[in-house]
Each structure stands twice: as C-alpha cells, then as structure tokens.
Amino acid sequence: MNNAVKLRAFGKANLSLNITGADAKTGLHRLDSVMMSVDCFDTVTVVERDDEDIRVRFVNADIGDDNTAAKAARAVQKAIGGNGWDITVEKGIPIGAGLGGSSADGAAVLRALDVLYKLPERGADMRALALSVGSDVPFMLTGGLARVRGVGDDLFFMENKLRLFIVGVMCGTSSTARAYAEFDRLYPQKTHCPTDNDKLCEYLLDADDGALGLMGNALYAPVAKLLPDLEKTIARLESFGAAVNMTGSGGMALGYFTDMQKFCDCVGALRADGECRVFAPTRTGVLHERITV
C-alpha cells in the first residue's frame, strides 16, 4: 500500500491589489494586496510512487507539463530526495479567472508532502519552498484573510468580521503575463496604488461595510484593454448595488454584497441571462485527508 493524501485546494479573491514597484533583484512586481480564500476548490490527490518519477494528470483540463503541481513536487524532491509521486488534479477553480487555481494546486502538493513526510523535520523550509513555486503560494498554504506584501513573502493574517456574499462573472480568459506587460506599458514607473489597504484592513476587522468602497485593483485598466467585456460586466454588477472588483489579473469580475436580498436579486437576474458563480469566504487554504491506495 502506498502513502496517499487527498486535498481540497481553495481559490482566492483579491479584495485589493496595489502594485508598489519592482523587486531590485528579481524584477518581479511588488504587491500590497488583501487576499481572501473563497469556497471554490480543486481536488488534488498525491500518491507515493515506487520510483523517482513525478507524474501530474489533470482530469478535466488541458494543462501542460509546466504546471505548479509538478513544480512544487520537484522542489520537494530536490530538498529531501526520495521517491516520486502520481498527482491527480480535478479542476473546480475556473481557469484564467484570477482566482489562483494554479497557486492552489502548488500549495496542495506542498501540504500533501508535508503531511506525508513532515518536511520541516527533514530540513525543508516550507516558506522558501512555497515562494519558489509562486508568489501567491505562501498565502494559499494557510488561507483565510491576509495582507500580502512584497513578492508574497510578507504576510499578515487577520480575521474577517464582515459578512460578504459574492457573485462572479467571467469576462474572458486573461493571461497574467500579458496583464503585467500592459501594466508596465501604462505605468512605466511600475507603481499604481488605487486603494488604501490600511483602512481596508481596519474596516474588515471592524465589520464595517465601508470596506466595500475600498476595493481596487492596479491591473484593472491593463486588463480592461485586453478583455472588452470587463467594463460592461462591472457596470452590470454595479447596477444591482454590488461593490465590484476584478480579482488578480482577471478575467473574472466579482460583485460583493453585505445585503443578502440584493445579492439574491443579482444572482437571479444573472442566472436568467447566463452563467454566473457564487462564492463565500472560507477560513482555510487547503484541507486534507489521508487515504490508502
């Protein structure tokens, strides 16, 4: 019997996303973002192999060999050695939405291998491993609500006391690389901070719905040039009284409500017109269970 772990890897929403410059060493954009886990998830199963191969299979998505699940597994294997793994990913987080599905898969693999091998006890640095996979992965490992700064290495976790109802509408599939390239063209100084994250965090901690007026995304203008339907979709959500923000680098627009009736009216109308998704905040990034195969 081989060791195995099955996990739910939850997505995230950026309540805010400021870009504060570029890292001097890596050139990566430095962020100041308030991130919140939401209850859409990928199901990831990791099974130990009898050899050193790492094999990743996506059962309902066409994703190539250059994926974060494989990257995370390779990073762990390099750190501790040992056998390889069969990794199966069933996508439930919409692809190209900005909900962090790729980062969630990487975080899930790291969590699975930590459950199996107690990585810190074997000399592996979980924070360094997570950062090597992707800038959102350290947050996704823990999840909940956090202010994330720098290149994903500076995290401050907090409790969200504001009850939020969330509806999402896809506006097209967005490429992160293209979004940042367009950002650099529009903002050559590589800095744009559309919201006050100090005040946003204060409002969330105080359950103050003033938080709804402080959601913003530095990538909105760049992605709006790439996705013609984005502005129209945001206007549609706002017509129902939603506070609207694009998450990550798009292409999903999220409408936030504190009033359940307005939320229900919005969802009813959108579902009559076409497809939408509903989300709720969740307190964790990854949930796991041991299984026997």
Report the alpha-carbon distance of residue 273 to residue 232 in Å, rounded.
14
Which residue do the tokens 């979980």 mark? 126
Residues 149 and 232 in one domain: no
Burial (CB count within 10 angstroms: exposed 0-12, middle 13-18, buried 19+), residue 81: exposed
Catalytic residue among 91, 105, 136, 265: 136
pLDDT band at 293 (very low <50, low <70, confident <90, very high): low
| 93 plus 220 within the same structural domain | no
**Parent domain of 171:** 165-279
Residue 100: asked if its preceding bond is cis (omega within 30°), the reply is no
User: In percent, how much of the chain has pLDDT > 70?
Assistant: 98
Q: What's the average model confidence in pLDDT over 92-103?
A: 94
Total domain count for the chain?
2
- Per residue in 245-273, pLDDT (tens digit) is 999 998 899 999 999 999 999 999 999 88
pLDDT at 208 over 60: yes
Whether residues 81 and 202 fall in one domain = no
Q: What is the model's pLDDT at position 104? A: 97
CA-to-CA separations, 243 to 115, 149, 226, in angstroms, rounded: 39, 23, 22
Token pair 């006050």 in the structure block, residue: 196
Q: Choose the catalytic residue: 6, 12, 71, 91.
A: 12
Full-model pTM: 0.94
98 and 216 inside one domain: no
Statement to judge: residues 71 and 185 lie in one domain: no
* 187 shares a domain with 130: no
Residue located via tokens 């229900």:
264
Residue 206 phi/psi, 5° resolution? -95, 5
Asked if 200 and 112 sit in the same domain, the reply is: no
Query: In CATH, what number is assigned to the domain containing residue 176?
Result: 3.30.70.890
Same-domain pairing of 145 and 179: no
Contact 164, 258 (CB under 8 A): yes
In this predicted model, which residue has the larger pLDDT, 39 or 64?
Answer: 39
Q: What is the pLDDT of residues 135-155, one digit of tens each?
A: 999 999 999 999 999 999 999
Please name the residues in contact with 245: beta carbons below 8 A apart, sequence gap of 6 or more.
Answer: 14, 15, 16, 215, 216, 217, 220, 253, 254, 256
* CATH number of the domain to which 106 belongs: 3.30.230.10
Residue 12: active-site member: yes
Average pLDDT over residues 157-180: 93
Please indicate, yes or no, whether residues 253 and 124 belong to a single structural domain of this protein. Answer: no
On whether both 118 and 182 belong to a single domain, the answer is no
Place of tokens 């497809």: 275
Q: What is the DSSP string of the chain?
A: --EEEEEEEEEEEEEEEEEEEE-TTT-PEEEEEEEEEEEEEEEEEEEE-SSS-EEEEESSS---S--HHHHHHHHHHHHH----EEEEEE--SPTTSSS-HHHHHHHHHHHHHHHHH-GGGGT--HHHHHHHH-TTHHHHHH-SEEEEEETTTEEEEE---S--EEEEEE-----HHHHHHHHHHH-TT--B--S-HHHHHHHHHTT-GGGGGG-EETTHHHHHHH-THHHHHHHHHHTTT-EEEE-TT-SEEEEEES-HHHHHHHHHHHHHHS--EEE-B-S-SEEEEEEE-
User: So what's the pLDDT on residue 174?
Assistant: 82
Could you read off the pLDDT of 216-243 as tens digits, one per residue?
999 999 999 999 999 999 999 999 999 9
pLDDT of residue 276: 93
